[in-house]
Amino acid sequence: MNSIIHLLPDHVANQIAAGEVVQRPASVVKELLENAVDANASSITLLVKEGGKTLIQVIDNGTGMGDTDARLSFERHATSKINSAEDLFRLHTKGFRGEALASIAAVSHVEMKTKTDDEDLGSHLIIEGSSVVQQEPCVTPAGTSIAVKNLFFNIPARRNFLKSTTVEQKHVIDEFQRVALVHPSVAFKLIHNGSELFNLPVANHRQRIVGVMGAKTNEKLVPVKEETDLIKLTGFVGKPEFAKKSRGEQFFFVNDRFIKHPYLHHAVCSAFEGLLKDKAYPSYFLYLQVNTQSIDINIHPTKTEVKFDNEHAIYSILRSSVKHSLGQFNVAPVLDFNKDSSMDTDYGQNKTTAKIPSIEVDRNFNPFESETKLGNKAFHIDSFKTKSTASWESLYTETGEDQDDLMDIEVESEQISPSLFQAQSPTYQSSGTFQLQRKYIITSTKSEMLIIDQHRAHFRILYEELLKNITAQPALSQQLLFPLKLQLDANEIRVFKVLKESLINAGFSISELGKDFVKINGIPNRLPESETSILLDQLLSDFENDIPDSGFDQTDRLAKSLAQSMAIKNGSVLQKEEQTELVNLLFSCKEPMLTPLNRLVFIKQSAADFDKKFM
């Protein structure tokens, strides 16, 4: 009988393994950076082009490899980090499966130069699709330089699934940050398309966090520290007032390895219970050290998920430690009673006998006397009677003397807030609308009543207006007396550069865009200055994970994000003129019935519907 089972060729097996290890350019970045750290490098440089689709190069000054080791490193299941099965349960290194370089070489063009300190010449290897094209001696500095070019060149289907350069760049930055944050003793540098995005010198954990996430992060951090027999916990959490709408700044590190753990994430969030706004997420950078035999880190191909032996105890320790830090640094509210010193016990009188209180009675007290004293104030009953019996109509008479007195009174002028809508000739009478529960605008036509959601209506109005401004007719902006300077991290700067032109058309005037800040001189007419930073934070978080390519998709998402943030909120009181103007502008829209997110803006109730309810 013919055998139907056969061994796969090595290049096919390598490509199957590559499907687990190499999902996108960021996967290559993670493996190469971890190998450089395991090689005891003190300086690591990452060069990337087109989000890693064209080039990923990692240069380190680690221990390097000899000729034989350099060649063996590209074989499957070849590693220097474990020798036996027992080593899998006491891991102190990152890459240990021995499949990373073999899998990367199977789907790309790889060029590596490496040399140890005690050798004069290094090794130069060129590998294309698992085939060694060239291996020869070369002159190179001590350490390793490995360049991965044309990722997925031999698997077009996988290459077509890659996202835009901006999205892939974002994932590369994420992996770079995860490795850099946990190794402050190593200097890191990231260069993308010739531009230096990060240059991180050797530092402590706090300085490294500030270097990676931006200068504004320093004021947000609250230190956390706890040490028990089970776990050693250090790190920082963000203050509640700086919580974001996205989950971008949330990092767990276990034994110097980045992990994702929903259960421990819930422990941190529960420590912030009652301190965060609705749909806000806390920031944290927490470093956990546990016994290597108490965790299993080989349950996921990317090693970002781990299994703890005693998760419940770690949950309790983590939650209480974060809660204690928030209270210790006066971030969480505490009970503060104003103690009256007269209530203190005089312990010097502990041996004295108790005194019987004396009772004093004023036997001459007469409540019907013409003058009654209360404290230091005297009230004359006769004068009170005179005022009470006076005609109440005199309260409404105006004399010239009273008018002169009123003219001398100085009152604080009330600041008049600008109208939400520009003045236009109304098509509805102001008496034809009214506001219900500060949420709905009620108006009517000849045969039916309309109940309009004010937030959704304004959302639709602003969306169509912004879409017109961005694509056809740039909007006017109101100039600020003092420029607004916002501190941004590397990811936010990357997003801002992509959206800069569209934001200018929407009404923003941007005078300077630096490495970690943006300076704004003007904002859209209908945007209050106090809400500018909040709106931009929400906008950047909306585009943080995915930025569509240039075109309508990007413009549409930008208009939706801006319009939803700028629209009046439910709970806002609208004057009659504003209600009328809102209705007029809504029904001048191309699609007044639905919001840009396809939700109903208003509902109709006809006279027949009311008749049925009264039957």
402 belongs to a structural domain: no
Strand duo 284-289 + 250-254: pairing: parallel
**In this predicted structure, which of 32-46, 372-386, 493-507 has the lowest mean pLDDT?**
372-386
Residue 546 CA to residue 541 CA, distance in Å, equals 10
Strand duo 109-115 + 122-128: pairing: antiparallel
- Domain with residue 127: its CATH number is 3.30.565.10
**pLDDT tier, 183 (very low <50, low <70, confident <90, very high otherwise):** very high
Assess whether 209 and 196 both reside in one domain: no
The SS3 of residue 181 is helix
Tally of domains in the chain: 3
The upper half-sphere exposure of residue 199, i.e. CA atoms within 13 Å in the direction of its Cβ, equals 4
Mean pLDDT within 373-391: 44
110 belongs to a structural domain: yes
Residue 561 CA to residue 546 CA, distance in Å, equals 13
Give the contacts of 530 (CB within 8 A, at least 6 positions apart): none
Residue 589 CA to residue 36 CA, distance in Å, equals 58
Give the contacts of 246 (CB within 8 A, at least 6 positions apart): 281, 541, 544, 545
Domain boundary residue, one of 153, 176, 200: 200
Residue 568 CA to residue 570 CA, distance in Å, equals 7
Assess whether 78 and 21 both reside in one domain: yes
- Name which residue leads in pLDDT, 277 or 27: 27
DSSP bridge pairs for 258 = 253
382 belongs to a structural domain: no
pLDDT given at position 341? 52
286 pLDDT more than 90: yes
Question: pLDDT tens-digit profile of 287-317?
Answer: 999 988 888 776 666 667 788 888 899 999 9
Domain boundary residue, one of 172, 200, 228: 200
Domain boundary residue, one of 266, 297, 328: 328
**pTM of this prediction?**
0.70
Name the phi and psi angles at 167, rounded to 5.
-70, -45
Residue 208 CA to residue 133 CA, distance in Å, equals 40
What torsion do the CA atoms of 463, 466, 468, 471 make, to the nearest 10 degrees? Answer: -120
Q: How many residues does the chain have?
A: 615
- 182 neighbors 204 (Cβ within 8 angstroms): no
pLDDT given at position 384? 41
- Name which residue leads in pLDDT, 362 or 48: 48
- Name which residue leads in pLDDT, 594 or 489: 594
Residue 608 CA to residue 615 CA, distance in Å, equals 11
Q: Which amino acid is at 607?
A: A
Assess whether 23 and 51 both reside in one domain: yes
Residue 266 CA to residue 268 CA, distance in Å, equals 5
Distance of CA 21 to the CA centre of its chain: 28
Assess whether 184 and 229 both reside in one domain: no
- 589 neighbors 566 (Cβ within 8 angstroms): no
Assess whether 265 and 129 both reside in one domain: no
Q: Which amino acid is at 282?
A: P
pLDDT given at position 387? 43
Q: Provide the b/e sequence for 254-276 (b: ≥16 CB within 10 Å).
A: bbebbbebeebbebbbebbeebe
Give the gyration radius of the chain's Cα atoms. 35
% of the chain surpassing 70 pLDDT = 78
451 belongs to a structural domain: yes
Of all residues in the chain, what percent are helix, strand and coil, respectively (each to 5)? 40, 25, 40
- Domain with residue 501: its CATH number is 3.30.1370.100
344 belongs to a structural domain: no
Residue 245 CA to residue 536 CA, distance in Å, equals 12
Assess whether 193 and 291 both reside in one domain: no
459 belongs to a structural domain: yes
Give the contacts of 453 (CB within 8 A, at least 6 positions apart): 439, 440, 570, 600, 601, 602
Assess whether 250 and 176 both reside in one domain: no
Assess whether 527 and 444 both reside in one domain: yes
Question: pLDDT tens-digit profile of 203-243?
Answer: 999 999 999 988 788 888 999 999 998 999 999 999 988 88
Name the phi and psi angles at 539, rounded to 5.
-60, -45
Assess whether 239 and 150 both reside in one domain: no
Mean pLDDT within 158-164: 85
pLDDT given at position 201? 95
Residue 144's domain comprises: 10-200
Mean pLDDT within 473-480: 82
Assess whether 445 and 576 both reside in one domain: yes
Assess whether 35 and 171 both reside in one domain: yes
Assess whether 184 and 224 both reside in one domain: no
Give the contacts of 173 (CB within 8 A, at least 6 positions apart): 190, 197, 490, 491, 494
pLDDT given at position 506? 86
User: Dmax of the chain from CA atoms?
Assistant: 128
123 belongs to a structural domain: yes
604 belongs to a structural domain: no
- Domain with residue 313: its CATH number is 3.30.230.10
Residue 352 CA to residue 177 CA, distance in Å, equals 70
